Amino acid sequence: MTTENTWQTICPTSDLIKNSGVCAILANQEQVALFQVGDDTIYAVANFDPFGKANVLYRGLIGETKGDVYVASPLLKQRFVLNTGACLDDGTLAIKTYQTRITDGKLEIFG
């Protein structure tokens, strides 16, 4: 079974935590890690850690190296660039990224 992708309303933007992550679940049960960096940048990537094989990426620390903003997995510390999903520690892997937008103070994810 496949479902058509649509914009899904997730939560008020006030539920996000600055410079830290929260997690949302989509209609198809996919988990998305949401990060607010600074006052107005929001990133959405898959919450599943492909190394640790657990839904934990939203609990990782946000870091930056040479301008790339990434999340470091709380399990084994692999780093994933938030706007591309690329893994900085293993060039053969990337995690899924999602589009986001804000409508009437609510965060929406395309997924």
Binding residues for another protein, rule: CB under 8 A, are 10-11, 15-20, 22-25, 28-31, 34, 37, 46-48, 50, 52-56, 59-67, 69, 72, 74-75, 77, 79, 85-87, 91-96
Q: Residue 4 or residue 84: which is nearer to another protein going by CB?
A: 84
Q: b/e per residue, 3-35, with b = 16+ CB within 10 A? A: eeeeebebeeeeebeeebbbebebeeebebbbb
Answer whether 72's CB lies under 8 Å from 60's CB.
yes
Q: Residue 4 or residue 8: which is nearer to another protein going by CB?
A: 8
Q: How far is the CB of 1 from another protein (least distance, A)?
A: 12
Q: Residue 5 or residue 61: which is nearer to another protein going by CB?
A: 61
Which of 69, 56, 66 minimizes the C-alpha distance to 22? 56
Q: Residue 4 or residue 107: which is nearer to another protein going by CB?
A: 107
One-letter identity of residue 38: G
Q: How far is the CB of 61 from another protein (least distance, A)?
A: 4
C-alpha dihedral (27, 37, 69, 21), degrees to nearest 10: -40
Q: How far is the CB of 90 from another protein (least distance, A)?
A: 9
